Amino acid sequence: MLRILGSERRLCQGLSRRDMLRVGGLGLAGLGLADLLRGRDLAAAEAISRPASFGRAKSIILLHLYGSHSQHETVDPKPDAPLEIRGELGCIDSSLPGLKVCELLPNLAKVMDRTTVLRSVTHPYPIHGVAYALTGIPTMDVAMELSPHDPKHWPFFGSVVEYVDAMQGRDQHPRVPTNIALPWPFSSQRVGEVPRAGPYAAFLGGEFNPVWTEFVGTATKALRRTLAAQVHDDNDPYIGLTPDSHFVVPSATTLQPELTLDRLDGRRSLLGQLEEARRGLGESAGGRQMDRYQSMAFSLLESDALRTALDVRREEQSVRALYGDTLFGQGCLAARRLVEAGSRVATVFWDEFGLAGSGWDTHWNHYPRMRQELLPGLDQAWYGLITDLDQRGLLDETLVVCTSEHGRTPQINGAEGGGRDHWSRVYSTMMAGGGIARGRVVGASDKIGGDVADLPLSPKDMLATMYHLLGIDHHTIIHDALTRPLPLVDARVITEALA
């Protein structure tokens, strides 16, 4: 099967794109257009009162540290707290006066004068709710977290951006996908558990799922990780990679051996027959949407633009070294190349690999992993990305956000190697570029990093701010599968973080 967008495209009720062609419509993707346009008209009427930051960003690079990073060991250390709170690691000054960061982040510290830190993000769900952090859904529970296609889910931020852009007639034939995610389909490289929810289009329809890349390369380093009685000793690409490592889109940037150009032409013929079988659909909204997907699919397949953007091997070695020879670092480099080529939303997940409960989920081995895996990778990648964008003159038009599902407990647990457990009462997020102030701290946690001390911020506020900076009114209305009108996100723009 030619899976042009990385996986078989299924809507929330289980229909594939082939099924949709047979029944002659693309219903879900067309829902809510009238309300969307009404929202756009309202947005136009309100434009006079908007700050100059509205629409400042052409694109966004969204970095998600799955498993949730510790605020204490990143950008909100507590050097005066008791040892069981502050932990084994010290802190250092950064280029932003008054802001200290963990001592294992010396490179990241150099670019904090170009970064805004949100130190008071909070919500009531201390679970791995990627779907809560990155969608407008108002509530979350464990059952939904472990059910990616639960009909109650709301669409991923990148899917909404692509949908709104499509409804507004933006980039009908992009050279690269509007909404692309790295390094592989989310939650697909761990063993022993079902995939997790999060970056999916939900009721907008499977056609608006992100285009997923595939990692091609070899890991070179290992670190023993444990999860209860489970152990993972294999080499991990998040710790080290070979120089020839890069990214592709399965069946899109490279033709599979069995898919010859003759067979591709045959698929075109088949599409023609299907078009004939659904006379009149082309005049409908659903038919016009279908034409858009067909055109985009073939243009991506036949164009070198996506292949070139993803191939980080084309960069000078000095640039690759700037980001670090890790999967996350090279993913950030690929994201820069993608937005430079025209992508609107390039998302890089620091995902689980091998062992479930890996990524930044440090219930066990907290300090060995901080020292050898997590902080070195983040340190180099954030520094490289912000530095590279700034040197190229792209930072002011590219929004960069680094976030997660929640934070970690103030109190260190007694697990081997130390551990911090789930904690959503306060945590930190970093933002830069694209209309965000350079060098600012917004909000504050208390003296032990356990609760908000000033200006509570929801991850929904962060999403509203991201939409705002991309020129999308977050009050815009879309409809779910039951035709209920929903705002993109019920929140406020974090004006305190804007330039």
For the segment 227-248, what is each residue's pLDDT rounded down to a tens digit? Answer: 766 777 789 999 999 999 999 9
In the prediction, which pLDDT does 360 show?
97
Peptide linkage before 376 cis (omega within 30 of 0): no
Q: Give the pLDDT score at 354.
A: 86
Query: What six digits make up the tokens of 220?
Result: 């070179």
- Give the list of residues 6+ apart from residue 97 with CB closer than 8 angstroms, or none: none
Phi (first) and psi of residue 121, to 5 degrees: -75, 140
DSSP letter, residue 113:
G
* Tokens 């939904």 found at: 144
Using DSSP bridges, classify how beta strands 398-403 and 59-65 pair: parallel, antiparallel or unpaired.
parallel
Q: DSSP strand E in 157-293: where?
A: 179-182, 190-191, 211-212, 214-216, 225-227, 230-232, 246-248
Give the integer Cα–Cα distance in Å for 56 and 101.
28
The per-residue pLDDT for range 19-66, each reduced to its tens digit, is 332 223 333 344 445 555 555 555 555 555 678 899 999 999 999 999
Strand partners, 10: 16
Q: What's this model's pTM, rounded to 2 decimal places?
A: 0.84
Q: Rg (Cα) of the chain, in Å, rounded?
A: 22
Tokens of 425: 């009462």
pLDDT in tens, the chain (499 residues): 222 232 333 333 333 333 332 223 333 344 445 555 555 555 555 555 678 899 999 999 999 999 999 999 999 999 999 999 999 999 999 999 999 999 999 999 999 999 999 999 999 999 999 999 999 999 999 999 999 999 999 999 999 999 999 998 886 667 899 999 999 999 999 876 678 999 999 999 999 999 999 999 999 998 887 776 677 778 999 999 999 999 998 764 444 444 444 444 544 454 454 445 444 444 444 444 445 555 555 566 556 899 999 999 999 999 999 999 999 999 999 999 999 999 999 999 999 998 877 899 999 999 999 999 999 999 999 999 999 999 999 999 999 999 999 999 999 999 989 999 999 999 999 999 999 999 999 999 999 999 999 999 999 999 999 999 999 999 999 999 999 999 999 999 999 999 9
399 has which bridge partners?
60
The sign of the dihedral angle between the CA atoms of 494, 481, 210, 407 is positive
Amino acid found at 262: D
In sequence order, which ranges of 242-284 are alpha helices (DSSP H)? 261-277
For the record, the structure tokens of 445 come out as 């946690």
- What is the structure's pLDDT at 228? 65
101 touches 94 (CB < 8 A): yes
Compute the distance between CA of residue 465 and CA of residue 498 in angstroms, rounded to an integer: 9
pLDDT value at residue 17:
34
Show the domains of the chain with their CATH numbers.
17-497 (3.40.720.10)
Contact of 176 with 207, CB cutoff 8 Å: no
Largest CA distance in the chain: 73
What residue type is assigned to position 230 of the chain? Q
User: Which H or E run contains 307?
Assistant: helix 305-310
**pLDDT of amino acid 65:** 98
Task: Please give the pLDDT value at position 7.
Answer: 33
Q: Which helix (H) or strand (E) holds 85?
A: helix 83-86
Which is it for the CA torsion 382, 387, 390, 391, positive or negative?
negative
Sign for the CA dihedral angle at 478, 137, 338, 12 comes to negative
β-strand pairing of 116-121 with 427-432: antiparallel
Could you tell me if 150 and 465 are in contact, meaning their C-beta atoms sit under 8 angstroms apart?
no
User: CA 283, CA 25: separation in Å to the nearest integer?
Assistant: 11
Which DSSP helix (H) or strand (E) runs through 144?
helix 142-145
| Total number of residues shown for the chain | 499
Decide if 486 contacts 208 (C-beta within 8 A): no
Residue whose structure tokens are 């599409």: 271
pLDDT at 19: 35
